[in-house]
Structure 1
Amino acid sequence: MAQRGTDTTPEDAGAEASKARLRMWLRMLKSTRQVEAVLRERLRAEFDTTLPRFDVMAALARYESGLKMSALSGVLRVSNGNVTGIVDRLAEDGIVVRVQVPGDRRASLVRLTRKGQEEFARQAEAHEAWIGELLSDFSAEEADTLSDRFDAVSHKEDET
């Protein structure tokens, strides 16, 4: 006969797993917010810039020919309105340029200028070093495994 308290039903195991996943999510969110806060502060202090500006430059760095504003918003998963102000300020600073799309007077592509490419390269190098420092407790194998697991979560979201 089993001792009282050692029997677990499938419902108990499911509830336990659910609570464990919730705890994991909350810790992951807390860690993400802490890392993000450090990145925001370091970008401000060392480059006099913001994380959203860095994110826009990072997205554009992956698309040399540029992106339409709607595509840029999609890559960043934010509204067009959020991106427009950032792009306007980056254009004023000579970091990005808007180029008219041939055959579509309403659309323009946004792409990094040479100055923008150089500035992004400087910032990206520092960003990578900061991430390396902040996440140094993870081995390369652990980082790869977690990346794969998070990709699987992202693919689930894409399927819904």
Structure 2
Amino acid sequence: MSEDQAWGKPDLASRLTEDHHQSLRLWLRMLSCSMKIENEIRSRLRARFGITLPRFDLMAQLERHPQGLRMGELSKRMMVTGGNVTGIASQLEREGLVRRTADPRDGRAFGISLTPAGRRAFGDMARVHEQWVIELLQDVPDEDKADLMALLTRMKGHLDARQEAVPDGADQSPI
């Protein structure tokens, strides 16, 4: 049985062969695993709470910053456009889960923070979300989880160092 057949349905990594570079195979394997978990969480959030993953993610960012965040900062943290953040924030504001306030230092900027109702709603969702993730990864032995964390931490360190060494927007391709 091939490595990909053990996973069940075909995914991004199933298109690869041994002829592909190991780095490409690794990246697609990580992406496939991440997407499988994300798709399941996305589906469960919608079914259980009637909320999208981006809305949950925005609330998670605000939960970590009770004083609130500026729209631009939220956009960077969520790695989406400002327009997407504005749309999500507007929906959550209409539902009474976040509040938008003008930034006193910059009249053109707005800050977003969770309302008390938003904090309670997010707390309920976050507790259930954590249990879902635990459930989805329960068959991975604790030692393997620790090994994966250590390896991914090292990988992130290498990627961070590489990014710091290359100016923003610089083309890193060898061509």
Shorter-chain TM-score bucket reads 0.7 to 0.9
- Following TM superposition, by how much is the alpha carbon of 1:79 offset from its aligned partner in structure 2, in angstroms? 1.2
Paired residues for 1:99-110 under 5 Å:
99-110=101-112
Note the residue ranges of structure 2 that are not aligned, 5 or more in a row.
1-17, 164-175
- Alpha-carbon distance in 2 for matches of 1:34, 1:145: 20
- The answer to whether the aligner puts 1:139 opposite 2:159 as a matched pair is no
Aligned residues: 144
Asked if 1:78 is matched to 2:80, the reply is: yes
2:123 equivalent among 103, 121, 124? 121
- Among candidates 88, 92, 95, match of residue 90 of structure 1: 92
Query: Whole-Å Cα distance in 1 between the matches of residues 69 and 150 of structure 2?
Result: 27
**Cα displacement (A) at 1:84:** 0.8
Over the aligned positions, Cα root-mean-square deviation in angstroms equals: 1.8
Identity of aligned residues (%): 42
Structure 2 counterpart of 1:37: 39
Inter-partner Cα distance in structure 1 for 2:72 and 2:32: 30
Could you say which structure has the larger radius of gyration?
1
Q: CA 1:73/1:155 → structure 2, altered by over 3 Å: closer, same or farther?
A: farther
TM-score (norm 2): 0.75
> Which string of whole-angstrom CA distances, capped at 9 and with x for unpartnered residues, describes residues 22-59 of structure 1?
22222221121111111111000000010000000001
Question: When you count helix as a share of all residues, which structure comes out higher?
Answer: 1
Q: Would the alpha carbon gap of residues 20 and 52 (structure 1) be closer, same or farther in structure 2, given more than 3 Å must change?
A: same
TM-score, normalised via structure 1 length: 0.81
Greater than 6 Å deviation, 4+ residue runs: none
Q: Which runs of 5 or more structure 1 residues have no equivalent in the other structure?
A: 1-15
Shift of the 76–41 alpha-carbon distance from structure 1 to 2, 3 Å rule, reads same
Q: Does 1:26 align with 2:57?
A: no
